[in-house]
Structure formats: C-alpha cells, structure tokens
Amino acid sequence: METCDLTALPGLLLPWYYEHKRDLPWRKDREPYHIWLSEIMLQQTRVEAVKGYYARFLDALPTVEALANCDDDLLHKLWEGLGYYSRVRNLKKAAGVILEQNGGRFPETYDEILSLPGIGDYTAGAISSISFGLKTPAVDGNVLRVLSRLQNDPSPIDLPQTKKAVRNTLEAIYPDAAGDFTQALMELGATLCGPNWKPRCEECPCRDLCLGYKLGTAQALPVKAPKKEKRQEDRTVLILSCDGKYALEKRPNKGLLAGLWQFPNISGHYETGELLALVESMGLPVREIRKEITRKHIFTHIVWNMKGVYLELAEPAGDYQWFTEAEIKTQAALPTAFRLFWEEK
C-alpha cells in the first residue's frame, strides 16, 4: 500500500498559512487564557458564531481570576445560546484550580494543562503549542480530516486509536514553529479541506503530498464509525405568564443543562383537556390558553420532541420565580431548547 511521507508537510503548509490565515480575534496574541477560552468556545460551534461571544466574555471577565469569581447566573448569561453548558462550568472550575494552585498564573506544561477540569488532549495540545511553543499536536476533527485524506486512511476518525495514531504521526514531524503549525493544520481543515463540501484540492499547498488527491479518494474521506440512534423523549413545556411576568425555575445542579433556568415542563404529550386537568392539579389557575407550538431540540444523545403550551394565569401561582421580559433578557440564561419557545411568545 502506498504511503505518504509527511516530513515535507510543515514546509509546504506554513507559508500558505502565513499568507492566507483568517483574521480571528483569538489570533491577536498568545495569551493562554485567550487561547483556552477560544478553543472551548469553538468546540461544536461555528467560528462566526463564536466571535461575538468571545469579545463579550473577555470584556466581562478579562482574567482567570475574574472567571473564577464570577456569579453562575452571569456566567450562564454570557454563554447563553452557545450550548453545551458543561463547557463553561468546567471553565470556571478550572479557573478556580489555577487561582488556588498557581495564584492565577496559567500552567505551562502539557500535563499540568491536561489535568485541569474540562481539558482533554486536543485543548491541552492547542494551548501548549500556541501559547508556549511546545511540540504537542492538537488533534480535532479538522486535523483528523486532513490527515485521513493526506494518507488515504480509511480508519474511522472517531475511534480513540485513530486519534492516537494521528497524534503520534504528527509528533514526529512537528517543526519549531509549533503554534503556527497547529493553527495551520486547523486552518487547512476548516477551509480548503473542510467538511460537508468538495475539498478544494487545486488550491491546496499539500496536494502533491496527498494520496487522497492522487488516488481520487479525498472527497470520500474521512470515514466515521456508525452512530448509535439517539433516544427520543416527549416533553410538554409550559410557558406560564401573568401580568407581564413569566414563570421560570432552575434545573438541578447535576445532569443535562445543570443549573440553568427553564420553563416548567413535564414528561410526555397531552391532549388539551388532559393537560388542563393536570395543570389545575398543580395549583395553577389557568385564565386562557394562548397557543400551542411544537419544536424539536437535538442533544448529543437525546432528542426532545417538545410541545409548548402558552398559558395565561389568573395569578402568579406555583413554586416558580417570576421574571419580566427585561429581567429574562439580562439575568436568566435560557438554554436553546427553551429559548425556542421564548422567541415565539
């Protein structure tokens, strides 16, 4: 089987990166707090969506110490709409560790960075190489796609052994310009060799090395292992209003969407009469059913099939907290699953 000699890759990729790299706010410096924040935000999220969040977050919390001491409601509000809220909870937890153990100074070795809450091999590699110049590969989906095509490798990229093999391959060729090489690989995988479209091989600085280009297999790569079917859950969401205020409650501190605000909701779907009887048994005096809508929200392992029922109450009953629209806008972080209904009110 033909193999790809990757020793020439840095020499081909770095000049292209210096000429074509995107102007992104987290590339303005190599401050580890900034690199860390951007890498966590960019997980599962588009670059364009992250730019505004990144600027607002740093404006409110400019240092690791400020993050460690941030109120949870403010923290969730700054993150509202980005999803995967465990990311920001781990950010704060890790900031607390850095403050307590290092006096707020970011650790400078790969193993120390890897030991922080919420940081895995990829993020530790990115921070270590970009901020501290260490030759530590950061292997994410973009990098896996590039290496899969370069080597014409059909190994499923979502298997741990594939990621480990790619990391070992890259460690052997990492140049002194480690941080730039890390970002160059990411840049190539996000642009010319991106997902969900035909790779722009004719523009690629690495095409003469690339077996996927040579053999015509690039577009068919990478390969992923078959996904398990997501669990389906039916939920009825109650958007309760009374005199211009809306009922919210906090989710439990552990589990899905931990610690975030939500509209009251119950498992299952109900016909109107059945739902009214249930709501009244909860001590909620319904004055009017305003409307019903259906929405779907997809989590990593679960799909919520949601029916939203907008109810005007005669009085603000129930064990809830009642917020005005302005208070929800400034104080209560609603995860996307519930903002779907807030935006339709």
- List residues with catalytic annotation: 39
Q: How far is CA 305 from CA 34, 232, 266, 270, 311, in A?
A: 37, 7, 12, 13, 19
Closest CA to 10 of 173, 235, 137, 191: 173
Which amino acid is residue 151, in one-letter code? Q
CA 297, CA 306: separation in Å to the nearest integer?
Answer: 8
**Collapsed DSSP state (helix, strand, coil) of residue 55:** helix
Strand-pair category, 245-250 with 261-262: antiparallel
Cβ(63)–Cβ(159) below 8 Å: no
Place of tokens 């015509």: 216
Pseudo-torsion of CA 59, 322, 240, 304, nearest 10°?
40
Q: In 10 A of CB 225, how many CB atoms?
A: 11
Contacts of 101 (CB under 8 A, 6+ apart): none
Q: How far apart are CA 15 and CA 47, in angstroms?
A: 23
Strand pairing class (245-250; 286-298): unpaired
Q: CB of 57 within 8 A of CB of 64?
A: no
Helix (H), strand (E), coil (C) string for 293-325:
EEEEEECCCEEEEEEEEEEEECCCCCCCEEEEH
